[in-house]
Amino acid sequence: MSYSVFEAVFNRLGLVVMERLPHGVFLRIGTEPPPSWFSQVVLAANPNEAVTISEALPFVGHFIGEAEAFWREARDGALRSEAFTVTGPSGAQIGLAVTAVTVGHRSLLVLEMIADFDERRRALQSAREQALEHESHVGRTRALLEGIGDARRLAQQLAESGLAAAPQQLTLRLGEHLASLSSAVEVLAPIPEGVTRGRGR
């Protein structure tokens, strides 16, 4: 299989492979035009022209220190960065990830556009919002149960305060209704197991 085929596959996958040369210079491998996103985020590089990472790819500068250590140790496998975003000329956010690999004596940096980055970000945002709503729900339910619990204790104290028979019966019935209300709240808006329900629970 010719190298041009590999280049075509890299482009289809949104990958750009760069080799680290001496003195911190990086050279893009390949003669085919890079993926369109690459031209949008690279600030000062022409195809097949050696450039420093700070000139052309400042957004991966934070990762280079880790990559340099990885390359010096000539470790197997790959060292992958966390996903991050870069703002293109149009203002659109482009999701990227960087991977350092060693092939023989060559130190390579693979830049990858994450095609479903927006979907992942939306899913993460949705999960965060759901977690916040759940936390709010727990707080509201706990406060409601605490209020009902306080009312039940007051009703119990009132029933035991020496009331006449009729008021005492009403007070006991009130306590029973409050107990039923507390049970209904726990059924309709249950607090997860292990979460404190409030005072006196």
Residue 18: pLDDT over 60: yes
Residue 184: pLDDT over 60: yes
Report the candidate in 132, 135, 141 with the shortest Cα–Cα distance to residue 197: 141
Tokens of 105: 């004596």
Give buried/exposed letters for 95-127 (b at 16+ CB in 10 A, else e): bbbbbbbbeeeebbbbbbbbeebeeeeeeeeee
Residue 71: pLDDT over 50: yes
What is the structure's pLDDT at 141?
80
Would you say how long the chain is, in residues? Answer: 201
25-37 pLDDT, tens digit each: 888 888 777 777 7
Three-state secondary structure call for residue 59: helix
The confidence band for 24, taking pLDDT boundaries of 50, 70 and 90, is confident
Angle at 187 between CA 184 and CA 188, to 5 degrees: 85
Name the β-bridge partners of 95. Answer: 85
Under 8 Å between Cβ of 185 and 197: no
Between 78 and 199, the more confident residue is 78
The confidence band for 1, taking pLDDT boundaries of 50, 70 and 90, is very low
Residue 139: pLDDT over 50: yes
Three-state secondary structure call for residue 114: coil
Q: pLDDT averaged over the chain?
A: 76
Q: To 10 degrees, the CA torsion angle through 128, 134, 139, 142?
A: -160
What is the structure's pLDDT at 200?
45
Residue 191: pLDDT over 60: yes
Within its chain, how far is the Cα of 70 from the centroid? Answer: 25
Q: pTM above the 0.75 mark?
A: no
